[in-house]
Structure formats: C-alpha cells, structure tokens
Amino acid sequence: MRVHNFNAGPAVLPEEVLLEVQKNLFDYKGSGLSVMEMSHRSAEYDQIISEARSRLLKIMGLGDDYVALYLHGGASTQFYMIPLNFCAENKVANYIDTGAWSTKAWKEAKKIGVKYHLAATSEDKEFTYIPKTWQLSENPAYLHITTNNTIRGTEWKIDPDVPADLPLIADMSSNFLSRPLDFAKYDLIYGGAQKNIGPAGAAFVVIKKSLLERQNSNLPTMMDYNTHISKDSMFNTPPAFAIYVIGEVLKWIEEKGGLEAREEYNRQKAAIVYDVLDNSDFYRGTVVPEDRSWMNVPFRLPAEDLEKKFIAEAKAKGMIGLKGHRSVGGCRASIYNSLPMKAVEDLAQFMNDFEKANK
C-alpha cells in the first residue's frame, strides 16, 4: 500500500508516472534495454532529452529566446554558477533574502569573492514573510529571489518588478510549475527537480539567451552555461534516468490540463490545510497569511511532545514526512504538485481528530 507522502523532497511523484516508468523499466518501448542502460548518444535517448527540454519551455509558455538545460549538482551548484557567470568585476550581485536557501545563495556569491548586496531581508521576523520593498545597490548585476522557502513556508505571490535592463534570477526549486507565473519576466530560473517535477539527480535551468551576452569569460568548462547550451545539455553524461522521469512528469502535467489546472488543484489543497489551522487554537501557522506557501505548510502544536506524538500517530495512519525541517522544528506538510487531494483531505481529518483527542 502506498502512503500519503508529505516529504519536502525528494517527494511524491504521480502514480501514473511511476506505473509508466515501471512498465518500461526493463525494456524501454521495445528497445531491448532500460533507459538506465542506454547510451546517452543513442537516437532513443536523444528523443527523450530533446522532448523533456522542449516540453518544459512549452509548459512555461516560453519561446526560442529561452533555452532549457538539465544539469548535475542540484540547485546548490547554481548558487555559485550564477555569480560566477553573471556578476562582472565592476558589478554587484543583489539578493532578496527570504531565509535558508536564499541565504545559502548569497553566501555562495560571497565565497567566490564577488561583491554582493542584500536588497531586502525578512530576517527581522525569522523569515516568516516576503519583503514587499527592496533597495538595489549601485551597478547591480542581477536581482536573485527564491520564489518559495521550502523550510519556512513563505511564497512570492507576485513576480517582482525590476528595471528593464536588470536581469531577474529565481530559485524556483519548491514551487516550480505549481501554477502559471510570468516566466518571461525572468532571465534565469533554476531549481532541483526533486520536489515538483521529478526525482533527485537533475537541476533544471531555464535561461533567456540575451543574458548570455553578460557572461564572464574564462570560466571552468563545467561551470560555464555556454558549455551546456552549445552541447544541447549533453556536454558530459547527463543524469539520464532522472531526465527521463522528469519528461514523463511534464507529460503528466500537460495531460492534466497544464499550469492552470495545477493552480486550481494546488489552491484547493492548500486551502484544506490552512482552513484547519485557521479554525483551530491548537494548531498555529507560522507564516503571515498573505505570504503563505501553497507547497510547504509549516505549523506548530502547543508543545514539542505533542508534535512528536502527532508525527508518530500520523505515520501509523500512513501519512509520512510531517516533521518540520531540523533547523526550525515543528511540523510541516509539503503538498507538492503530484500529491493527490485525498492526501490532504485525510490529513485534515486526522488533524481535527488529533486536536479533539489531545486538547
């Protein structure tokens, strides 16, 4: 029996996709071998990766002024590739710090020695909100945001306005393709696949080609976006199986009605969980309501031992992954794209029952 999977990532995948992958695991569409065993230079694999790249742009509504890559090294490698490629010596890398991952992003810029500036931060209130104003530095190279804080459960509800000539860069790891965004506003979008669009092992990077005009020169080969673009995301052996599964998830997103349908479904799921929090004086949501994430819902119970009991009882009922991130404690339900409605309905029922029994 499958459990309701509230893990923060790697996370739940669509059942239809798992069954399709299983069907083709041993012999991929009559090729006589598994995708795991296939040469990445074969015609079969070329079709898999080409389609996974083109379908991604199509779902995002982007044209051929953008390019999609699938790279190794997770979102974390992008933290330093971005300043390395796009912050020139006389420029300043600008960041809005909404906690955890965005902090890691600017720290990586600092580490490689580029000038950086925090245009805004929500650290004053423990990253429980999204800053609404920001102050850019002189000579900004780009503005970097993290559209969803996986740990704190805050989410940007608008695509920020920036000056026309300033590149906007976003880590979308934990809310990617969960609803339509104005993707064309962004010059580079990246993230780890393992939350909303696939298994672990590949990062997606979507780049507006015009951004490449601002690239630094003499970069290490693997750290240079142009290396990967010029070789169609296959400069070296790509994370082949992960990309194949991502391709299947993208097909699933299309078949289910694309991003508009995801938005409606995710809005309903989030409402079910937040309704429980809002109608209770037992559970406490930790984020200001207007900035609440539709993907990661952190909450507290009146005491830590009750939180432990809650997590253990939920697990016994087939609901796993409800422990908050170790850096903040408490509970967190990650309710990504592929999590079925039934999982949040059962969670809400369990939360109400647990409250009655333990109040």
Residues that bind ligand PMP (CB under 6 A): 9, 74-76, 101, 146, 150, 171, 173-174, 192, 203
Residue entry with tokens 């984020």: 287
Nearer to ligand PMP (CB atom), residue 146 or residue 351: 146
Nearer to ligand PMP (CB atom), residue 191 or residue 276: 191
Is 104 labeled as catalytic in the residue annotation? no
Nearer to ligand PMP (CB atom), residue 173 or residue 233: 173
Least distance in angstroms from the C-beta of 79 to ligand PMP:
8
Which residue among the candidates 97, 101, 269, 323 is catalytic per the annotation?
A: 101
Mind spelling out the 3-state secondary structure of the chain? CCCEECCCCCCCCCHHHHHHHHHHCCCHHHCCCCHHHCCCCCHHHHHHHHHHHHHHHHHHCCCCCEEEEEECCHHHHHHHHHHHHHCCCCCEEEEEECCCHHHHHHHHHHHCCCEEEEEEECHHHCCCCCCCCCCCCCCEEEEEEECEECCCCEECCCCCCCCCCCCEEEECCCCCCCCCCCHHHCCEEEEECCCCCCCCCCEEEEEEHHHHHHCCCCCCHHHCHHHHHHCCCCCCCCCHHHHHHHHHHHHHHHHCCHHHHHHHHHHHHHHHHHHHHHCCCCCEECCCHHHECCCEEEEECCCHHHHHHHHHHHHHCCEECCECCCCCCCEEEECCCCCCHHHHHHHHHHHHHHHHHHC
Least distance in angstroms from the C-beta of 100 to ligand PMP:
7
Which residue among the candidates 171, 187, 224, 291 is catalytic per the annotation?
A: 171
Nearer to ligand PMP (CB atom), residue 76 or residue 227: 76
Nearer to ligand PMP (CB atom), residue 94 or residue 98: 98
Least distance in angstroms from the C-beta of 74 to ligand PMP:
3
Report how far Cα 195 is from the mean position of its chain's Cα atoms: 6
Is 171 labeled as catalytic in the residue annotation? yes
Nearer to ligand PMP (CB atom), residue 74 or residue 247: 74
Least distance in angstroms from the C-beta of 56 to ligand PMP:
17
Least distance in angstroms from the C-beta of 33 to ligand PMP:
28
Is 101 labeled as catalytic in the residue annotation? yes
The residue type found at 300 is R
Which residue among the candidates 195, 208, 251, 269 is catalytic per the annotation?
A: 195
Least distance in angstroms from the C-beta of 94 to ligand PMP:
18
The residue type found at 65 is D
* Contact criterion met (CB below 8 Å) for 39 and 277: no
From first CA to last CA, the distance across the chain in angstroms is 31
Nearer to ligand PMP (CB atom), residue 9 or residue 160: 9
Least distance in angstroms from the C-beta of 93 to ligand PMP:
17
Query: Tokens for 154?
Result: 């805050």
Q: List active site positions.
A: 101, 171, 195
